[in-house]
Amino acid sequence: MTKDPKEPQHPELSPAERIEAKATAFLQLWLRYSYPVRSKAEIKALKPKKIEVLLPNQIDWAARAVDVDETKFGELTINPDTVNIDWKSIPESRFEIIALPNMVGQRLSVVAKYVAETYGDRYHILGLEFWHYLYTKRGNDRDPSYFLKDEVPYYFFGSTIRHTSGEWFIPNIIWVMEEYPPQWTYVGGSLNYEHEKWMKVYKVVLLKKE
């Protein structure tokens, strides 16, 4: 069995270089589990095409919903407030899981804008960095207990990532009981796909600001 990569630290790098190193790790892990037919060499060679460090309320979500360009696969955004958090040091009491029943039937771009505007002042909106942390801990006793592991998607609106289709995706994660052993898997949601609507069972992961 292939071991999952460890969370990248890179203390010897500058802040910008650390962000690039982490973004590379996110992208490679995302590709590895989203597109397992890719060769290991191809995945290892993959680098982010462009990294934007943006708060969720700085993103033009409506524009991202119609921005499709296959040549830009690998672009991504990272939330500067959360990229360097040591997740192991965060008490579970600071995390909050929100269902957003008032957003049922809305496109993900609408939900993303709502989350940023409604919760951004009181919460950190988690993104690829927390998704990466969960994935590298998947299926073992270090998984945070505040997740119910109820086989529904948890969305991380703090980041966007450009899919191979050229669409912008929101990272998410889901606990799959059918796997043995049960484990986290990646699904992801498109901002562009008009049939990708928020469902009653979907949830958002937030971190209370201190």
Average pLDDT rounded to a whole number, residues 20-39: 68
What does the block give as tokens for 145?
């207990």
pLDDT of 84 over the 50 cut: yes
Per-residue confidence band for 27, with pLDDT thresholds at 50, 70 and 90: confident
Per-residue model confidence (pLDDT) at position 6: 46
Between 160 and 137, where is the model more confident?
Answer: 160
Residue 1 lies in a domain: no
pLDDT of 201 over the 50 cut: yes
Alpha carbons 206 and 187: distance in angstroms, whole number: 19
Residue 115 lies in a domain: yes
pLDDT digits (tens, 9 = 90+) for 107-142: 999 999 999 999 999 999 999 888 878 777 654 544
Residue 105 lies in a domain: yes
Domain count, the chain: 1
DSSP state of 23: H
Per-residue model confidence (pLDDT) at position 178: 61
Lowest mean pLDDT among 33-42, 113-122, 136-145, 198-207: 136-145
What CA–CA distances, in Å, run from 65 to 106, 135, 141? 13, 26, 37
Between 158 and 38, where is the model more confident?
Answer: 158
- Rounded to the nearest 5 degrees, what angle is found at the Cα of 27, between the Cα atoms of 147 and 194? 70
pLDDT of 88 over the 70 cut: yes
Residue 66 lies in a domain: yes
- Provide the whole-model pTM: 0.80
pLDDT of 32 over the 70 cut: no
What does the block give as tokens for 117?
């505007």
Residue 41 lies in a domain: yes
Alpha carbons 113 and 116: distance in angstroms, whole number: 5
**Got the DSSP string for 143-158?**
S-TTS---SS-EE-TT
What CA–CA distances, in Å, run from 91 to 12, 55, 82, 173? 27, 23, 15, 21
Per-residue model confidence (pLDDT) at position 139: 45
Residue 191 lies in a domain: yes
Per-residue model confidence (pLDDT) at position 166: 87
Residue 4 lies in a domain: no
Residue 128 lies in a domain: yes
Owning domain of residue 51: 15-208
Per-residue model confidence (pLDDT) at position 21: 77
Query: By CB neighbour count within 10 A (0-12 exposed, 13-18 middle, 19+ buried), where does 123 fall?
Result: buried
Work out the percent of the chain whose per-residue pLDDT is above 90: 30
